[in-house]
A and B are shown apart, each in its own frame.
Chain A
Amino acid sequence: MKLEAQQLAYGYPGRRIGSDVSFTLNAGEVLCLLGPNGSGKTTLFKTLLGLLPIQCGKVMLNDCELQQLERDEIARLVSYVPQAHGAFFPYSVRDVVLMGRTAHTGLFAAPSARDHDVALDAIRRMGIAYLAEAIYTQISGGERQLVLIARALAQEARMVVMDEPTANLDFGNQVRVLERIRALAADGIGVLLSTHDPDHAFLCADRVAMLRNGNLLACGTPDTVMTSAQLQHLYGVEVLVTEVALGQGRRRVCLPMGMQA
């Protein structure tokens, strides 16, 4: 199982955002997409999910062209965690997560007892069992983010695309979500996520892709791609990548340089 972009050009109808993007995401692997604001990360994700028309090139899902798959077939292969947002109706958290089961539910059916079990299990795995009966519109932005991840888990797809899953979270929940992402990869699920914190790439990514103005600057392992020079080129600020001792081993971290007294 893999998700593959081949010389992909993407954007909105009449407006090209990016072009010539090629990469492969394998099952069991975490690919982290870095890029400044407006670099086209969300647009790229939506194109990979078939939510925006492909302008040029191909997206292959499990060796099938994306356009030839039905919506529910795509949804059983790839799930999507959008950036947390408001909702229109006061559904309970349990109902929102249950909506992740839609692709497994017959057109004329409501979710079965098994679907309810899967949804509850996903809620528990995200550590938000206490929210299950809460009203989705009344919980905080960070909690909504966790609910949306739980919904993607309930979808039981082999690939997950997460748009800034850590954006609204407190420090503890950021770490918990990154751990959860590693656990998903260990279960054989491929995760593609975007983040604004390069340290998150060091923490959870097997490979890192850098996107700037709609073009891939680099794609490879964190240690080879995420150098001081590359990050500086990507974000336009001076960055120091250094190593700190952590228990037995060492870990790389990013430090902004322009802030010294």
Chain B
Amino acid sequence: MILCVIVVVAFAIGRYPVPLSDLFRILWSWIGGAPHGLDATLETVVLQIRGPRVIAAVLVGAALAAAGAAYQNLFRNPLVSPDILGVSAGAAVGAILGIFMSLGVVAIQSMAFAGGLAAVAMVYLVARAVRGHDPLLLLVLAGVVLGALLGACVALMKYLADPYNQLPAITYWLLGSLASTDTRNMWVAAPLLLAGLLPLWLLRWRINVLSLDDEEARALGVSVGRIRLVVIVAATLMTSAAVAVSGVIGWIGLVIPHFARLMTGPDFSRLLPVSVLLGAGFLVAVDTLARSIASIEVPLGVLTAFVGTPLFLWQLAAARKGWQ
């Protein structure tokens, strides 16, 4: 419900305000095909510019929150974000390489997506290659180490980048933005995001059991290794696609699941949908703010933290089912 209201408001607000009545007439005519008799500019704003952007915000927010919720269960730690296995760092290296080579938007997004997948694949294979230790710990360590290495690559490329053209583009990308979304790349990203969400929902009960320690989960009949791989692949697919569309947006994957858990308790079959809705609503709201509070766009990554942190602290103070 709240998500719907936020989405409608997000359509209406912006540099070019759209009255609610006009908004509904445009949407109605888009669905029904009847002419709405309004200014054509208005239709362009709603359907071509704001529409894809709001949908992108819904999907990216949902994906980051869902991936974060799944990872927090998988790693049995509420302080885990979807970045833990290096997906954002890998995507950043991919995207910056793209910017470095002065590629187009679509190519940069594809490289970011591929970079994210490659980084996590590498982390997983490294962790698999070392045997005889706690597999979860190895994954985290490999993720941290490889993430640091990729971070150094990002720093190196920023240092080498042309400070007048490339560096601003790189910085802008690293701060996250939905400004470059259009209908075309949403058609590619949306199925990927949904394809990642589906296995998480299907495996919801197994993911609950994964939050016990490995031996206990196995004694209860869960093939821990296999389920863990599926969850990692699903979450990586989603996060990579999300980061490719929006750049690096921190905070959502870390704190929205936490927020959701305070509302629903830890049961993943309730946690996942609530995280998805909260993440989507939150990112739409923040993105709406990002493009309307100032005459220039405020970077999303900055704004999510500024808006989210006080909200979260308030929720933490008010919560009853909190962490013990």
Contact = CB atoms under 8 A, between A and B. Distances in A.
Interface of A: 13-14, 46, 49-51, 70-76, 79-80, 82, 85, 87-92, 95, 99-100, 102-103, 105, 107-111, 135, 137-138, 151, 155
Interface in B198-256: 202-206, 208-209, 211-213, 215-216, 218-223
Contact of A103 (B76, B202, B212, B221): B221
A155 B321 contact: no
Given A90-B265, A91-B265, A71 B202 contact: no
A206 B322 CA distance: 46
Contacts of A74: 221
A77 to B, nearest CB: 10
A134 B221 CA distance: 25
Contact of A102 (B131, B220, B265): B220
Nearest to B226: A71
Given A89-B266, A91-B265, A110-B204, A82 B324 contact: no
A99 B219 contact: no
Contacts of A88: 76-77, 211-212
Contact of B205 (A51, A76, A109): A109
A71 B222 contact: yes
Nearest to A14: B132
Contact of A100 (B218, B220, B322): B220
A12 B204 CA distance: 32
Contacts of A95: 208, 266-267
B109 interface: no
Contact of A51 (B77, B218, B324): B218
Contacts of B324: 90, 135, 137-138
Nearest to B73: A89
A49 B77 contact: no
Given A99-B209, A102-B222, A137-B324, A80 B216 contact: yes
Residue from A50, A85, A91, A102 whose CB has the most chain B CB atoms within 10 Å? A102
Interface residues of B, number: 33
A188 to B, nearest CB: 21
21 contacts: A49-B219, A50-B218, A71-B221, A72-B223, A80-B216, A80-B220, A82-B216, A89-B78, A90-B266, A90-B322, A90-B323, A91-B211, A95-B208, A95-B266, A99-B209, A102-B205, A105-B205, A109-B205, A110-B204, A110-B205, A111-B205
Contacts of B212: 87-88, 99
A87 B211 CA distance: 8
B265 A99 contact: no
Residue from A13, A50, A89 whose CB has the most chain B CB atoms within 10 Å? A89
Nearest to A110: B205
B166 interface: no
A89 B221 contact: no
A88 B210 CA distance: 11
A108 B220 contact: no
A102 B266 CA distance: 17
Nearest to B75: A88
Contacts of B204: 110
A50 B219 CA distance: 8
